[in-house]
């Protein structure tokens, strides 16, 4: 029997609750040793149920010998620096997407982890559901892949974290925060190949942020394979649909849980997992985080696993860099009529008026 993997959580905001839920379900395999946040109260709230140490000092926690691995769930712009510090300390690292702001920085992290002999995994959580595992395990049954379509639309009526509102258009909003889920899936399907051409159209429909909140992406891959991605923060009815066109037929994955091949249902969730997939909160996502943590523990222990490697994540971020560059050429506001300049610039006031009780990206 192995001892549970000693884990430190870095960043105790909104998304950390899902990760802590997974830790709680896997007490025989992973143990929370410490929780780190620049807000001591947030660190204490995360640590207390596990009897863990609460700290606002990452260096102090990285020096703890019982910390074998680090889960980074802090705001995006801190990921690369904190991951590099954890790698330098000889810790295995699981990072909420994205690993880094650019593909070049993400690749440097992946190489540093390889040189240090530690695991660097990316938190592309939605790759870890039963439907996606079935797809990969039965890939040869479907024939030759020709095309992939992804549609992923939700409704965020304003920023989910204050820093969403202050991101500059050139940094990207939905293309940086939401597109990685869809693009990770496309890259997974296309294997080791990166696209030879990309085209992106982007638009902003809401005034609560500066970046784009809707985009369509067209990708051309070697072998004349194609992919299209449509993402939106503007749809009141959630859409999560993936369609793969193979030589023997069509695979459809609906709501991340139901997999059909030529309309025959092959994978479905346990009762209660999907209550109403068209509304926010209508799906139980806990099993994705649990499976992701199981895979990360397996990777850290040197066993076969399905964790998304740092090198794979770096490829996806490099692709996003290309897409952002094309979107900057083609994107524009779709707000009609355009907001007065003083309203468009008064982001801070709008964020303070936001009704969300917990808007920090964890």
Please report, for residues 39, 349, 359, the alpha-carbon distance to residue 353 in angstroms, rounded to integers and kept in the order given: 22, 6, 12
* Mean pLDDT within 75-98: 95
pLDDT at position 31 over 90: yes
The model's confidence at residue 281, banded by pLDDT at 50, 70 and 90, is confident
Position with higher pLDDT, 266 vs 338: 266
pLDDT, tens digit, 9 for 90 and up, residues 254-267: 999 999 999 999 99
Provide the token pair at 310.
């740092």
Position with higher pLDDT, 179 vs 342: 179
pLDDT at position 163 over 90: no
Interhelix angle 310-330/103-116, nearest 10 degrees: 170
In the sheet with 332-333, reading across from the earlier edge strand, the strands are 264-267, 258-261, 249-254, 234-246, 145-155, 225-232, 214-221, 197-204, 332-333
Percent of the chain predicted with pLDDT > 70:
93
Of 162-166, 300-304, 308-312, minimum mean pLDDT range: 162-166
The model's confidence at residue 96, banded by pLDDT at 50, 70 and 90, is very high
Upstream peptide bond of 98 is cis (omega within 30 degrees of 0): yes
The model's confidence at residue 21, banded by pLDDT at 50, 70 and 90, is very high
pLDDT at 313: 94
pLDDT at position 352 over 90: no
Phi, psi dihedrals of residue 165, rounded to the nearest 5°: -70, -25
* Mean pLDDT within 351-356: 41
């Amino acid at each position: 029997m192995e001892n549970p993997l000693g884990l430190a959580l870095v960043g105790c905001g909104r998304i950390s609750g899902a990760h802590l839920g997974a830790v709680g379900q896997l007490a025989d395999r992973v143990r929370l040793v410490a929780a780190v946040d620049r807000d001591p109260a947030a660190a204490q709230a995360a640590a207390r149920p596990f009897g863990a140490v609460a700290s606002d000092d990452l260096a102090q926690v990285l020096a703890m010998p019982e910390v074998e691995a680090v889960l980074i769930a802090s705001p995006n712009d801190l990921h690369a620096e904190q991951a590099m510090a954890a790698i330098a300390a000889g810790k295995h690292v699981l990072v909420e997407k994205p690993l880094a702001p650019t593909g070049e920085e993400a690749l440097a992290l992946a190489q540093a982890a390889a040189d240090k002999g530690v695991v660097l995994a990316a938190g592309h959580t939605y790759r870890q559901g039963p439907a996606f595992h079935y797809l990969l395990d039965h890939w040869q049954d479907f024939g030759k892949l020709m095309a992939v379509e992804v549609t992923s639309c939700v409704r965020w009526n304003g920023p989910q974290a204050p820093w969403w509102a202050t991101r500059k258009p050139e940094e990207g909003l939905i293309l940086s925060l939401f597109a990685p889920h869809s693009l990770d899936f496309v890259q997974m399907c296309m294997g080791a190949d990166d696209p030879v051409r990309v085209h992106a159209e982007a638009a902003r429909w809401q005034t609560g942020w500066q970046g784009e909140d809707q985009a369509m992406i067209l990708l051309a891959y070697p072998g004349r394979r194609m992919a299209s991605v449509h993402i939106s923060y503007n749809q009141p009815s959630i859409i999560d649909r993936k369609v793969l066109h193979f030589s023997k037929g069509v695979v459809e994955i609906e709501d991340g849980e139901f997999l059909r091949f030529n309309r025959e249902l092959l994978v479905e969730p346990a009762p209660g997992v999907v209550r109403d997939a068209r509304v926010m909160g209508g799906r139980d996502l806990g099993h994705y985080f649990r499976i992701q943590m199981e895979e990360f523990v397996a990777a850290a222990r040197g066993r076969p696993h399905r964790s998304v490697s740092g090198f794979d994540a770096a490829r996806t971020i490099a692709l996003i860099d290309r897409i952002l560059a094309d979107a900057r050429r083609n994107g524009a506001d779709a707000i009609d009529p355009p907001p007065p300049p003083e309203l468009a610039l008064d982001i801070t006031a709008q964020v303070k008026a936001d009704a969300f009780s917990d808007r920090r990206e964890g």
